[in-house]
């Protein structure tokens, strides 16, 4: 099937080229740069045509062609003339490299899509520093409102909420009737609530 594809591209090997190619490959084994240049001149267009047909992208096809010939330079011994002509072997090498490039491109695309799906949700809550500023403002507001309370209201609320005393314990500590202490706390808290609502 692959040979049929080569024939349809006009890339079917000419048996008369086998001997010169084999000779050049043997010279390539000796790191003969001139032999490499001749092989490139003879076959780079065929390799490019095949790779471009697979990848459909000129710039990527050019890179793959360079990779194929670099692999040929580094590993010319991989070609065995006894197993067949050089051109089909080289084009098979190019085809495999082009398909590898396609798979790599598909894998990169898949990973990009997965990363896009895994992006963290947009945080809509205010940053921590804004929350800290708001909390500080509320504390300052409460302190200001507390300073406006009657002294006995302020003291009763401090004992209840900052020292954790019960209403009875506050009455004993201040030596005031329990009803009076409850009234101070209730009225003081109402004033604080009204002040905070007005501030907001």
Q: Along the chain (200 residues), what's the average pLDDT of each consecutive run of 10 residues?
A: 48 51 90 92 94 91 92 90 89 93 83 64 58 74 79 86 83 89 86 74
Residue ranges per domain, the chain? 2-117, 144-199
Looking at residue 16, what is its pLDDT? 44
Residue closest to 157 by CA, chosen among 179, 137, 136, 181? 181
Give 95's contacts (C-beta < 8 A, 6+ positions apart). 2, 50, 51, 54
Angle between helices 18-28 and 86-117 (to 10 degrees): 70
Token pair of 35 as six digits: 């032999």
Compute φ and ψ for 166, nearest 5 degrees. -80, 170
Within the chain, strands assigned E span none
Asked if the 144-199 domain carries CATH number 3.40.140.80, the reply is: no
Looking at residue 128, what is its pLDDT? 65
Report the C-alpha gap between 85 and 25 in whole angstroms.
11
Looking at residue 123, what is its pLDDT? 52
Model-level pTM? Answer: 0.48
Q: For the domain covering 2-117, report its CATH number.
A: 1.10.1740.10
């Amino acid at each position: 099937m692959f040979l049929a594809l080569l024939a349809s591209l006009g890339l079917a090997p000419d048996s008369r080229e086998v001997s010169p190619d084999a000779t050049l490959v043997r010279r390539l084994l000796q790191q003969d740069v001139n032999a490499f240049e001749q092989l490139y001149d003879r076959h780079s267009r065929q390799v490019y045509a095949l790779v471009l047909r697979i990848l459909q992208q000129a710039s990527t096809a050019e890179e793959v062609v360079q990779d194929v010939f670099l692999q040929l330079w580094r590993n010319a011994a991989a070609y065995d003339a006894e197993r067949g002509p050089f051109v089909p072997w080289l084009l098979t090498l190019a085809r495999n490299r082009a398909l590898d490039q396609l798979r790599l491109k598909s894998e990169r695309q898949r990973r990009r899509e997965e990363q896009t799906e895994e992006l963290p949700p947009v945080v809509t809550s205010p940053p921590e520093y804004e929350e800290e500023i708001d909390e500080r403002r509320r504390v300052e507001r409460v302190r200001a409102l507390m300073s406006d309370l009657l002294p006995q209201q302020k003291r009763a609320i401090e004992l209840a909420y900052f020292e954790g005393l019960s209403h009875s314990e506050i009455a004993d500590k201040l030596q005031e009737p329990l009803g009076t202490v409850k009234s101070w706390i209730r009225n003081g808290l109402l004033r604080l609530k009204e002040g905070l609502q007005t501030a907001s």
